[in-house]
Structure 1
Amino acid sequence: MIRFRVGLQCLLANLSVQLVSAQGDYTQYVNVFQGTTGGGNRFPGVVAAPFAMVKLGPDVQSGNADAYSGYLPSGSIWGFSMMHESGTGGAPKYGVVSQMPVVGNVSNPLADLSQGRASEDQGQIGYYKSSLANGIVVELAATERAGLYQYSFPQGSPASIVVDVSHVLPSFRGLGWEQHYSNANFTFYSDGYQGSGTYNNGWNLSPDWEIFFCVRFNQKPVSKKTFQGTGTTLTSYDSRDQVSGTERVGGVFTFTETNVTSRVGISFISSSQACNNLDREIPDRTSLQSLVDRAKSRWNNEVFSKVQISSANSADLQLLYGSVYGMFLIPSNLTEENPGWTSTEPYYSDQFTLWDLHRCQTPLFQILQPVAYEEYVRALIDIWKHDGYMPDARSSNFNGRVQGGSNADNVLADAYVKGVRGAINWEDGYSAMVTDAEKVPPNNNDPKAPDSSTKEGRGALPDWLKYGYITPSFTRAVSRAVEYSANDFGLYQVAKGLGKEADAEKYLKRSRNWRNHWDPNCSSNGHSGFVVPRLADGSFVAQNPLSCGGCYWGDAYYEDNPWVYSMNAPHDIATLKQYIGGDDKFVDRINKLFDLKIFNAGNEPGFTSPFLYNFVPGKQHLSVQRSREISKSYNSGPSGLPGNSDAGAMESNILWQMIGLWPLTGQTTFLILSPWFPEMKINLGNGRELKITTTGGNKDTAFYVQSLKVNGKQWNKTWVTWQDIFENGGTMDFVLGSNPTDWATGELPPSPASGDQ
């Protein structure tokens, strides 16, 4: 059994790697510590199945550093908790339902009981291990809604476990996004404890939400005490059976055994449901190893086996399967765990965020997990049906925050045009999209953007409907306008498909409104024409295209500058090329993103820009060249992501480049790049398969496309459609070489919003 250690991901380098298509255990290639440092913020703890509710791992404190996923590579562990997010920025979320082991009797359970590590943490899929400085070893395993803690205490002292229900991941950024503990209930019963904790705030500014827990010990404690207090001051610490209130509450369990096992179930519904989850998923005498084996089997059978490659390169194998793993840690499938309403529809929460994900994660989600993807789309619609709006982000069963547009619209449009039907009610889906497009959401008075709602919907909709652009009276005006255009293009696609001709015409016209921010006189580095702020009187605001101010919530551009946002009209590229000045200027505009070091591989708004060369005759090789440059920002190590994982956005980016395609969300178009492997097979379900082969070159030095056959026929376009290769499966056979050739002489990719210039 291979166990990765932080910083030692090269353990596999000495393995004799055979064709992965012949291997049964793909988990051996996954470094769970990939992307956990360097800003990646990925969660390395136990996630027993894709989209599991339980994400069990350590909570680490190190000065004033925010531990976004609970994990930091250095610092002291102050608890092991059941719920975390993965790859997010902003502020930490969750870190609830925690236990902390302590050597000896505990005089004050409210004191700092944290411990450093005696050695680096170890982990693999389904398993996590921390060795603490005081000699305690903690091993973790889990199922979807329950977790198992296995403690090994040093000989000679009592073994204690402290349960502090107020435990929650803090934030030290001072932005008002820190979580708060509200109150708790804690009750002993025969072989453990149960209760609930209530918390609020966090990055999505959620009001009070409650999580329930049910815990059983496999050993009998020699003593158990409840405690209550504020700060580090105890108001009670005795053997009462129950404590509750707004003070910190919990319990201390002391054992004489050196080996103690704790089984924990959680639920958003009730303690009894938490107990049901526990007893169903981790019954008494369940071994830790059996849970590890089960987790590996789930990931192998349900996810990793969907992608098979021929490769003897361990670094490529680790990057491929580690990235696939990182894609499906969140959202969380909370079906039957929805406290907000009763419904027979699936329910997913913990998404951060569709602003990050719609460009490339959700299109790959559909391909690799089509059943879950249909459920996910249904869940988005059901949230609208009961909460009033689809979420762009959602956590602790509450919408928020919206960074730009209402990008659930893009996700629904992408699903619709690619034929996702099943049990989806598309009339309801379209109504949910219309709500985003026509109904102004109530202002939630976010201190970071007080002009309009950051909870859901399109807060700047009043300007959008009145002017066809967004004035600086709304924060993030330009980036919102660019995104609202793409959102409206999504509505056009679904309206057209449903036969709503008047609506389709209206939203197609609105999808062109990004043009209303185009100032042809704004110039920078030999180029004229950029999207800039515009006042109510129609005049443009002077703008340096290399600057976006703070690039944050209160600015005109969010997380990128005018150079990048001016390339963000993938549904209207023909018009964009015309505005920029034709093919040559368009190519130079993309080149400048790199020459001027504007492009940031870790920033989602620029994800598609490097591949827009495919819209210019004879320039597809430049998209391939940029793809290979971007790939150098990735590896399978702890610092192997170029930015926040953002719930799999970064991982799906590199996966598409490995495949050799790039999706245009809301369209059936995929831009052709250059695959990495001699052979790749993607299982599309229902007996369908996409097989991609390469001959004559390699991914590192001879990667330019010389020729291509699609489904056995010679291909001369820089793009394919969903129907060509995914709908019924297909083949793509590439010949690669070390020098570019003008192989793609066919028609350019479609530009569906460019009919009216």
Structure 2
Amino acid sequence: MEASGFTHFQQSGTGAIRKYYNYVRVTPMVQSLDALGQAWPLHDEVAEAGHYAATLDTGIRCEITVGAKVAVHRYTFPEHRSARVVVDLSCGGLGIEHGRTVPLRAQVESLGGGRAQGTVVLEGVPLSVYVEVGTPGWRQMLWHDRRLIEGGTRLDFDRIRHTTLRPFGLIFMGPAAAGQRVEVRIGFSLRGCEQARENLRRECGEGRPAFTAVQARTKARWREHVGRVEVEGGTPARREVFATALYHSLIKPCFADDESPFWPSSGPFAFDVCTMWDIYKTQLPLLTTICPDRAVDLLESLVRVCEEEGNFPIGYRMARGADRFFRQASALAHTALADAHALGIGDLDWNWALVHMVDDLRRMYGEDFFEHGVVHPISHTLDLAYAHHCTSGVARALNDKRLADDLDARSRWWRSAFDPTTGLLVDSSFYEGGRWNYSFRLLHDMAGRIELAGGDEAFVAMLDAFFGYGARPVVQPGVRPDPVEMAAGYALNRFEGLNNEPDMEAPWSYHYAGRPDRTAEVVHAALTWQFGTGPGGLPGNDDSGGLSSWYLWASLGLFPVAGQSLFLVSAPAFERAVLHVRDREFVIETSGHRETPISSDGLERTPPTRYVRSATLNGEPLGAAYLRAADVHAGGRLRLELGSEPSDWGRGVRPPSAGR
């Protein structure tokens, strides 16, 4: 690994998105400015929640920690007559074609005494910083185009273009004794330098070393959040993967409370939701369960974005302008809003939220859906029908029966997306998938969906074909597969291993056909074979924590049906688990849990499939393979008897369906 410095604001596990921020690069150096941008090998890396450390090839030990709105760097220099810390305010994005983020305007001011400030407008957003560097006796200067500006205290750029951009920023320089530590404290704000300074004062104090204190607070905060889900049993490797997945699940969305540059009032501002398509099925239900206050803050922020910009975003980034992810899906915020309303969490103005939910259904692809009952890409037809169902539930709960009935009628238009002769979606274009991937969505009318496919047996046979159940193994692509090799794999129309969002919920479709045993087989095979502790430990992009959240729910033996305030129940991977839901505990206990053989790398390599043979909830028999989300949020005890052979449990009572 190599590094040219340390930047701020990053994406988390996303794939081909080119918006990676990487703003405000800080580089400790013992070379001249001409070497800025050079990458040095990293040694002795340490990475944990709230702390990163590594040693550059130049001998400089680098440590970084962060707070809510601050970052603190600590650099330990070797002896050198001209050590330096360089702050580059011009960089952003990725060093690939079309991946660079170019500032539109900027101003930087050197205040003296180790202090400086600046604002850089990036994609229409003013990012302000206030910087303090604890280097008594060091010089501080501005620089532009890798040249020092003698005597200058301010840089102003009123108009920057790709062709006119030259790097610019600040430099702090002076002699360093061996082992001398230099601390760099940075406050951030989207509302100007004065607020950036106040944010720094609030979290770091006034002009004194703050690294240890900020790191301790951040570490404690992470410990408290990660501690909201506890598990017992399983191998050490499985528990390690679980803990890592929980950490990944809580990195995004990003909040900057009271920091919106687009509206003046205070309140939550979720400036990086990338994207709802990634997180609405698994991660948002996790936030709603263990961090309900933050989940409500997100929804309040999304309502405000809709109010200000005219639509609920599919993805929201630190950038001004219309939603840029509309090709992925339509009307996904409706699912999280419906769940929050059904659970009665938060204090949103629900009548006002309903107005925006209804209006949003008519925007973008929604207008064609409203007029024709079908829209392409065909997956948007399913999205919009489902969003109508979610919105109908909120309207009915608010006693607007006429609106609810109208929305219900449109929610039944999901049928127009399917070809009754095949039981699959009609031919269309699809975002990162095909009609097989998208044909097993957990719709609000799964009874009707299964009937359209020809009944339970026909639907299960389709799912079996998709997952390759009982089929011969396929040849996996090589390291650099050629187009012919890839085309042969795509032609199978098979499950790709959870490496894309449409496949996340497909295993649980078996539940609706009375086959929770098959769900357990497919899910536990994925948990066992597709996740690990080393490189390649995820079967695809983590996508802002969406995939890690899937792993969490699957390991707990639960799966949230977003928008229906429902959890499907399957065999957990751990003997016991506790979810801390506000001031309550939801406990999942098992009997008959079995440890499995462990390979040399510490992982379980025999799928530990244990079928649920019977269940009780708070001591009462539970014959259905699902729970209301309210049951989980109320706290209680789910006890599952596991066995090596399936039983009739969960086959007779199907999860709720709007069609019956």
Query: Given that residues 164 and 250 in structure 1 are in contact (C-alpha distance below 8 angstroms), is that contact kept between their aligned partners in structure 2?
Result: yes
Once residues 611 and 426 of structure 1 are traced to their aligned partners in structure 2, the CA distance between those partners, rounded to angstroms, is 31
Counterparts of 1:237-248 in structure 2, within 5 Å, are 237-245=149-157, 246=160, 247=165, 248=167
Q: For each residue in 1:50-100, what CA deviation from the matched residue of structure 2 results, as whole angstroms up to 9, or x when unmatched?
A: xxxxxxxxxxxxxxxxxxxxxxxx3x3122122222122211321112211
How far apart are residue 381 of structure 1 and its match?
Answer: 1.4
Q: SS of the residue aligned with 1:193?
A: strand
Match of 2:265 in 1: 343
- Residue 415 of structure 2 aligns with an amino acid whose one-letter code is R
How far apart are residue 529 of structure 1 and its match?
Answer: 2.8
Matched, 1:465 2:370: yes
Q: Percent identity, please.
A: 26
Gaps of 5+ in 2: 469-491, 597-607
How far apart are residue 192 of structure 1 and its match?
Answer: 2.1
Match of 1:630 in 2: 526
Match of 2:138 in 1: 222
- Residue 525 of structure 2 aligns with an amino acid whose one-letter code is E
Matched, 1:364 2:277: no
Matched, 1:726 2:632: yes
Once residues 107 and 345 of structure 1 are traced to their aligned partners in structure 2, the CA distance between those partners, rounded to angstroms, is 41
Query: Given that residues 338 and 390 in structure 2 are in contact (C-alpha distance below 8 angstroms), is that contact kept between their aligned partners in structure 1?
Result: yes
Q: SS of the residue aligned with 2:23?
A: coil
Match of 1:405 in 2: 330
Once residues 33 and 627 of structure 2 are traced to their aligned partners in structure 1, the CA distance between those partners, rounded to angstroms, is 67
Match of 1:166 in 2: 90
Q: SS of the residue aligned with 1:564?
A: helix
Q: For each residue in 1:567-595, what CA deviation from the matched residue of structure 2 results, as whole angstroms up to 9, or x when unmatched?
A: 22521111111111111111111111111
How far apart are residue 224 of structure 1 and its match?
Answer: 2.6
Q: For each residue in 1:613-671, what CA deviation from the matched residue of structure 2 results, as whole angstroms up to 9, or x when unmatched?
A: 11123x21110011101112122434322222111100110111111111111113211
Matched, 1:211 2:137: no
Q: SS of the residue aligned with 2:41?
A: coil
Which stretch of the first structure deviates more once superposed, 735-744 or 285-294? 285-294
Once residues 345 and 137 of structure 1 are traced to their aligned partners in structure 2, the CA distance between those partners, rounded to angstroms, is 38
Once residues 572 and 743 of structure 1 are traced to their aligned partners in structure 2, the CA distance between those partners, rounded to angstroms, is 22
Q: For each residue in 1:32-53, what CA deviation from the matched residue of structure 2 results, as whole angstroms up to 9, or x when unmatched?
A: xxxxxxxxxxxxxxxxxxxxxx
Query: Given that residues 224 and 239 in structure 1 are in contact (C-alpha distance below 8 angstroms), is that contact kept between their aligned partners in structure 2?
Result: no
Match of 1:144 in 2: 68
Partner of residue 23 from structure 2, selected from 67, 83, 96: 96
Query: Given that residues 98 and 167 in structure 1 are in contact (C-alpha distance below 8 angstroms), is that contact kept between their aligned partners in structure 2?
Result: yes
Matched, 1:675 2:600: no
Please give the TM-score of this superposition, normalised by the length of structure 2. Answer: 0.88
Match of 2:11 in 1: 85
Match of 2:472 in 1: none
Query: Given that residues 93 and 99 in structure 2 are in contact (C-alpha distance below 8 angstroms), is that contact kept between their aligned partners in structure 1?
Result: no
- Residue 566 of structure 1 aligns with an amino acid whose one-letter code is S
Once residues 681 and 497 of structure 1 are traced to their aligned partners in structure 2, the CA distance between those partners, rounded to angstroms, is 31
Q: SS of the residue aligned with 1:119?
A: strand
The alpha-carbon distance between structure 1 residues 227 and 733, as it changes in their structure 2 partners (threshold 3 A), is same
Q: For each residue in 1:544-580, what CA deviation from the matched residue of structure 2 results, as whole angstroms up to 9, or x when unmatched?
A: xxxxxxxxxxx71111111122222521111111111
Counterparts of 1:409-428 in structure 2, within 5 Å, are 409-420=334-345, 422-428=346-352
Counterparts of 1:268-279 in structure 2, within 5 Å, are 268-279=190-201
Match of 1:530 in 2: 424
Query: Given that residues 259 and 266 in structure 2 are in contact (C-alpha distance below 8 angstroms), is that contact kept between their aligned partners in structure 1?
Result: no
Counterparts of 1:691-702 in structure 2, within 5 Å, are 691-698=587-594, 700=596, 701=608
Q: SS of the residue aligned with 1:744?
A: coil
Once residues 636 and 431 of structure 1 are traced to their aligned partners in structure 2, the CA distance between those partners, rounded to angstroms, is 46
Match of 2:453 in 1: 580
Once residues 103 and 576 of structure 2 are traced to their aligned partners in structure 1, the CA distance between those partners, rounded to angstroms, is 52
Match of 1:18 in 2: none
Q: SS of the residue aligned with 2:281?
A: coil
CA-based RMSD of the aligned residues comes to: 2.0
Once residues 253 and 74 of structure 2 are traced to their aligned partners in structure 1, the CA distance between those partners, rounded to angstroms, is 27
Query: Given that residues 184 and 249 in structure 1 are in contact (C-alpha distance below 8 angstroms), is that contact kept between their aligned partners in structure 2?
Result: no
Match of 1:663 in 2: 560
How far apart are residue 112 of structure 1 and its match?
Answer: 4.2
Once residues 141 and 513 of structure 2 are traced to their aligned partners in structure 1, the CA distance between those partners, rounded to angstroms, is 72
Gaps of 5+ in 1: 1-73, 201-207, 441-458, 472-476, 522-527, 533-542, 544-554
Matched, 1:568 2:495: no
Q: For each residue in 1:104-128, what CA deviation from the matched residue of structure 2 results, as whole angstroms up to 9, or x when unmatched?
A: 4x254xx544232242522111211
Q: SS of the residue aligned with 1:251?
A: strand
How far apart are residue 282 of structure 1 and its match?
Answer: 1.2
Query: Given that residues 368 and 684 in structure 1 are in contact (C-alpha distance below 8 angstroms), is that contact kept between their aligned partners in structure 2?
Result: yes
- Residue 408 of structure 2 aligns with an amino acid whose one-letter code is L
Match of 2:482 in 1: none
Match of 1:352 in 2: 274
- Residue 121 of structure 2 aligns with an amino acid whose one-letter code is T
- Residue 648 of structure 2 aligns with an amino acid whose one-letter code is D
Once residues 221 and 85 of structure 1 are traced to their aligned partners in structure 2, the CA distance between those partners, rounded to angstroms, is 37
Counterparts of 1:42-53 in structure 2, within 5 Å, are none
How far apart are residue 223 of structure 1 and its match?
Answer: 2.6
- Residue 415 of structure 1 aligns with an amino acid whose one-letter code is A
- Residue 434 of structure 2 aligns with an amino acid whose one-letter code is N
- Residue 382 of structure 2 aligns with an amino acid whose one-letter code is V
The alpha-carbon distance between structure 1 residues 627 and 569, as it changes in their structure 2 partners (threshold 3 A), is closer
The alpha-carbon distance between structure 1 residues 218 and 737, as it changes in their structure 2 partners (threshold 3 A), is same
- Residue 487 of structure 1 aligns with an amino acid whose one-letter code is A
Which stretch of the first structure deviates more once superposed, 691-700 or 258-267? 691-700
- Residue 523 of structure 2 aligns with an amino acid whose one-letter code is S
Q: SS of the residue aligned with 1:386?
A: helix
Matched, 1:195 2:118: yes
Partner of residue 392 from structure 2, selected from 488, 492, 496: 492
Once residues 523 and 628 of structure 2 are traced to their aligned partners in structure 1, the CA distance between those partners, rounded to angstroms, is 20
Q: SS of the residue aligned with 1:160?
A: strand
Once residues 434 and 395 of structure 2 are traced to their aligned partners in structure 1, the CA distance between those partners, rounded to angstroms, is 32
Q: SS of the residue aligned with 1:559?
A: coil
Query: Given that residues 423 and 454 in structure 2 are in contact (C-alpha distance below 8 angstroms), is that contact kept between their aligned partners in structure 1?
Result: no
Partner of residue 505 from structure 1, selected from 399, 405, 416: 405
Matched, 1:736 2:638: no
How far apart are residue 519 of structure 1 and its match?
Answer: 2.1
Matched, 1:333 2:273: no
Match of 2:48 in 1: 124
Once residues 37 and 245 of structure 2 are traced to their aligned partners in structure 1, the CA distance between those partners, rounded to angstroms, is 35
Query: Given that residues 681 and 690 in structure 1 are in contact (C-alpha distance below 8 angstroms), is that contact kept between their aligned partners in structure 2?
Result: yes
Q: SS of the residue aligned with 2:424?
A: strand
How far apart are residue 388 of structure 1 and its match?
Answer: 2.3
Match of 1:716 in 2: 623
Q: SS of the residue aligned with 2:116?
A: strand
Match of 1:482 in 2: 382
Q: For each residue in 1:232-254, what CA deviation from the matched residue of structure 2 results, as whole angstroms up to 9, or x when unmatched?
A: 6x5x6323111121343212221
Query: Given that residues 675 and 699 in structure 1 are in contact (C-alpha distance below 8 angstroms), is that contact kept between their aligned partners in structure 2?
Result: no
Question: Quick check: which one's helix share is greater?
Answer: 2
Match of 1:9 in 2: none
Q: SS of the residue aligned with 1:356?
A: helix
Match of 1:50 in 2: none
Aligned residues: 608
Q: For each residue in 1:125-180, what CA deviation from the matched residue of structure 2 results, as whole angstroms up to 9, or x when unmatched?
A: 121112111111111112111111111122134101122211112252x5x56422
Query: Given that residues 611 and 626 in structure 1 are in contact (C-alpha distance below 8 angstroms), is that contact kept between their aligned partners in structure 2?
Result: no
Q: SS of the residue aligned with 1:648?
A: helix
Once residues 92 and 20 of structure 2 are traced to their aligned partners in structure 1, the CA distance between those partners, rounded to angstroms, is 8
Match of 1:652 in 2: 549
Once residues 189 and 320 of structure 1 are traced to their aligned partners in structure 2, the CA distance between those partners, rounded to angstroms, is 47
Once residues 530 and 743 of structure 1 are traced to their aligned partners in structure 2, the CA distance between those partners, rounded to angstroms, is 28
Q: For each residue in 1:708-735, what CA deviation from the matched residue of structure 2 results, as whole angstroms up to 9, or x when unmatched?
A: 1111012211212123x22421111111
- Residue 531 of structure 1 aligns with an amino acid whose one-letter code is L
Match of 1:54 in 2: none
- Residue 340 of structure 2 aligns with an amino acid whose one-letter code is A
Counterparts of 1:19-38 in structure 2, within 5 Å, are none
Q: For each residue in 1:215-274, what CA deviation from the matched residue of structure 2 results, as whole angstroms up to 9, or x when unmatched?
A: 111113533332223xx6x5x632311112134321222121242111111111111111
Please give the TM-score of this superposition, normalised by the length of structure 1. Answer: 0.77
Matched, 1:515 2:415: yes
How far apart are residue 489 of structure 1 and its match?
Answer: 1.4
